[in-house]
Structure 1
């Protein structure tokens, strides 16, 4: 089965954007008391989109989707659609079980999102036929084109990927496992219309390896706080500028990953802390995540300075 017309259009726009720049996964702005700060979020989004990413993915993992209630989710996705103003695709996150995912999908549809990223379901391990049925039920209940996200307890086999790719609104697969042997098998077996995305944590560390198996597009958490660094690395990899890419990996990305791995949840809370260091109006993380302590913040600030110096930015 081929994609329907609406899915084809969104897939085409995403394909164009993937060549142009990294995929932006913006943070969600909260006040010190933990409430949603929509004005700050709009201002932050405008800063992010001014750097011309390939697409914007609000209310996903970096945007603390699981910490948002349905009304907050509506406000966040609506704001992203309004700020983007049709300049680039808006792909909203959704998840949990299929019934709850559909509640978020309908909100995203009403807000004007172009597509949705289906985050891994909650808690349970599931057999392959259940993973396929989860996507089938979501696809049956929303007009939004869908990108499946495999990581943690979700990992599709070749046969399962073929089955979900037959759905007329499934346009892509985002991979967060980093198993390149498995991923190569998936890309070789997939239909030509299916888009693939590198969704590994700090995806830049594996960007060249993913590109070698046919997956050059990736999401960049670094773009959420230092688009100058993210864009410089993207350009270096695209242009095969190994000297620049290696310098950024050695001086910035590898030390950042080492710092990130010290505390569970730092994949988001370090990113938010770095954005605050840059003066971005994003506020704290919500529990169960925790903001970094003073020592880690000092190290993060030094790393940020190094990264900006490497790309020749004053910050």
Structure 2
């Protein structure tokens, strides 16, 4: 039985799914992506989730991604997988995650048919109870979790966290004030750095960072400034890095995924621009704009290098 019933805290790494030009999963580049996140000190790895194009993965690709993540992390940090959508597939992937040695999974909401709140509660409960792994439930898009839903899930020891991708701060206040420390609270908004200063006072102590795939030192600098209430640094990072990148992300649907791959390519982490439909690659004008933003960001906030020990 899993003993550590707590959700990860800090900056959470969400590696992408690198595909070749012939649309095959590139396991070597995935391993490199995960190793990079580990080297940069991220507190957990969430593999085959939304950033990893979970809805487009075959079972074999999913298994391969979990294998790579578990192998590369080698128990240094928790490994969470993505499950969700079709409940039968979710149960199968939850079992795969357990068999392959993951620590938990992020349960994505069902698609197309939202269901009543009682149905949502049973959906999340059924998946969470299917193994003894930790489970984090995710509200996003048209799926919002009510107090009665979380009351049901509070009785399930496997459910350790709630991730928010809605940005409804009234709802978040009600949920965090009602359940407080029973759940870990994770910010899962697109480019979560934009909203993290508003989430911390509610008890959210972690977030998924897309930009950590290519400028993790800036994400860390921002997170530290938020925790330390360093408003001057927060404002400066907002103006010169966070908001300019976010402005590009908002230009097209799917950029929450494809913009990560573009940023990695620009920063010398070649993963290619291949994404799976309905997502499209970043358009040239936006790619060039991101290049300019990242060049300016590195000039303003150069990554510190550690001198080799003698």
> What TM bracket, shorter-length normalisation?
over 0.9
Q: What residue in structure 2 maps to residue 262 of structure 1?
A: 251
RMSD of aligned C-alpha atoms? Answer: 1.6
Quote the Cα distance in structure 2 between the aligned partners of 1:255 and 1:68: 31
**1:164-183 to 2 correspondences below 5 Å:** 164-183=153-172
Report the counterpart of residue 131 of structure 1 in structure 2.
Answer: 120
Query: What is the aligned partner in structure 2 of residue 104 from structure 1?
Result: 93
Among 4, 7, 13, the residue aligned to 1:9: 4
1:272 aligned onto 2:261 = yes
Tell me by how many angstroms 1:249 deviates: 0.6
Q: Which residue of 2 aligns with 1:27?
A: 16
| 2:296 is the alignment partner of 1:306 | yes
| Distance in 2 between residues matched to 1:207 and 1:99, nearest whole Å | 34
Which consecutive aligned stretches of 4+ in structure 1 deviate over 4 angstroms post-superposition? none
- The CA deviation at 1:140 is 2.9
1:160 & 1:44 partners in 2: Cα distance?
36
Q: Deviations over 1:281-308 (max 9, x none)?
A: 3222122111112111100111111222
Question: Does 2:73 match 1:78?
Answer: no
The offset of 1:310, in angstroms, is: 2.8
Q: Are 1:97 and 1:122, in contact at CA under 8 Å, matched by a contact in 2?
A: yes
Shift of 1:137: 1.4
**Secondary structure of the equivalent of 1:218?**
strand
Kindly indicate whether the alpha-carbon contact (under 8 Å) linking 1:41 and 1:281 is maintained by their aligned counterparts in 2: no
Q: Aligned-pair distance for 1:159? A: 1.6
Q: Which residue of 2 aligns with 1:286?
A: 276
Which region of structure 1 is more displaced relative to structure 2, 42-51 or 174-183?
A: 42-51
Q: SS at 2:144's partner residue?
A: coil
How many residues align structurally? 304
Q: Which residue of 2 aligns with 1:149?
A: 138
TM-score, structure 1 as length reference:
0.93
Gaps of 5+ in 2: 306-310
Shift of the alpha carbon at 1:97?
2.4
Confirm whether residue 50 of structure 1 aligns to residue 45 of structure 2: no
Q: Deviations over 1:242-276 (max 9, x none)?
A: 11111111111111111111111011111111111
Please give the secondary structure, in 2, of the residue aligned with 1:141. coil
Structure 1 gaps, min length 5: none
**Residue pairs, 1:86-101, within 5 angstroms:** 86-101=75-90
Superposition deviation, residue 76 in structure 1: 0.4
Match of 1:190 in 2: 179
What secondary structure, in the 3-state scheme, does the structure 1 residue paired with 2:4 have? helix
| Superposed displacement of residue 126, structure 1 | 1.4
Query: In the alignment, is the contact (CA less than 8 A) between 1:248 and 1:310 conserved in 2?
Result: no
Q: 1:234 aligns with which of 220, 223, 226?
A: 223
Q: What is the rounded CA distance, in whole Å, between the counterparts of 1:45 and 1:218 in structure 2?
A: 17
Matching residue of 1:250:
239
1:191 CA displacement:
5.5
Distance 1:277 1:98 in 2: 38
Query: Which one has a larger percent strand, Structure 1 or Structure 2?
Result: 2
Q: Are the aligned partners of 1:120 and 1:153 in contact in 2 as well (CA < 8 Å)?
A: no
Alignment-derived partner of residue 148 in structure 2:
159
Q: Which residue does 1:120 correspond to in 2?
A: 109
